[in-house]
Amino acid sequence: MRDLELWQQLSQNPEALLKKPAQEAEEIFNKLNLEQQASLILLCPWEKRQELILLSKKAEELVQAMPTQELFWTIKAIGIQDCLELLRMASAEQLQFMFDLDWWYKDKIVPEKIVAWLLLLFEASESVVARWLEWIVKKDESLLPTIMRPFLSIYKRPDEMDIQEAKDVLPGFTLDDTYFIEFKNKKLQPLWARIIEILIDFFPPAYRDLMESMVFDIPTETFEFAYRWRNNRLADWGIPEYFEAIDIYAPIDKNNLRRIELPDVDITQELTMPAFVPTLYIDDLPYLRNALDSLVGKPVMGRIIKEWVWVANKLLMADLVDLDDPLQLRQVIFRAAGLINIALEQLHKDFGESPEQLLTQIPIEDLIRLANSSIRALKSKALALVNSDLVHSEGWYLEEDVQNRFLGLLTRQILYWDPLIQEYRGFRSVDEILEIDNLLKELEEWSKVVKYLIEPHWSNWHKGVFTHTNIGTSRELTWTMALATVLAQLCINNIKELKPLSLKELKELKKLLFVGDGSLSKDVVNKLVDSLYNKELELDKNRFYEIIYSTLKPLEEIFSSLNDNEIDPRFIEYIWTIVDDDLYFKDT
Count CB-CB contacts under 10 A for residue 496: 15
Q: What is the pLDDT of residues 230-247, one digit of tens each?
A: 999 999 888 999 999 999
Asked if residues 81 and 87 have their Cβ atoms less than 8 Å apart, the reply is: no
- Listed by start position, the domains of the chain span 91-237, 239-452, 458-587
Q: What is the pLDDT of residues 482-492, one digit of tens each?
A: 999 999 999 99
Is 449 a residue whose pLDDT tops 70?
Answer: yes
CA atoms within 13 A on the CB side of 434: 6
> What is the pLDDT at residue 213?
96
User: Which has the closest alpha carbon to 147: 223, 199, 204?
Assistant: 223
Asked if residues 446 and 479 have their Cβ atoms less than 8 Å apart, the reply is: yes
Identify the band that residue 266 occupies on the pLDDT scale cut at 50, 70 and 90. Answer: very low
CA 538/CA 35 separation, integer angstroms: 65
In degrees and rounded to multiples of 5, residue 153 shows phi and psi of -125, 145
Q: What is the DSSP string of 309-348?
A: HHHHHHHHHHTT--TT-HHHHHHHHHHHHHHHHHHHHHHH
> What is the pLDDT at residue 464?
87
- The three-state secondary structure class of 514 is strand
What is each CA distance from 151 to 188, 192, 198, 302, in whole angstroms? Answer: 8, 8, 17, 44
Is 100 a residue whose pLDDT tops 60?
Answer: yes
Q: Rounded to two decimals, what is the model's pTM?
A: 0.85
Is 3 a residue whose pLDDT tops 80?
Answer: no
Q: What is the DSSP string of 393-406?
A: TT-TTS-HHHHHHH
CA 336/CA 426 separation, integer angstroms: 8
Asked if residues 124 and 84 have their Cβ atoms less than 8 Å apart, the reply is: yes
Instruction: Give percent helix, percent strand, percent coil of the chain, each to the nearest 5.
Output: 65, 5, 30
The dihedral through the CA atoms of 365, 371, 377, 382 has a sign that is: negative
Which of 93-102, 155-164, 178-187, 279-288 shows the lowest per-residue confidence on average (mean pLDDT)?
279-288
Asked if residues 152 and 211 have their Cβ atoms less than 8 Å apart, the reply is: no
Is 276 a residue whose pLDDT tops 90?
Answer: no
CA 172/CA 564 separation, integer angstroms: 89
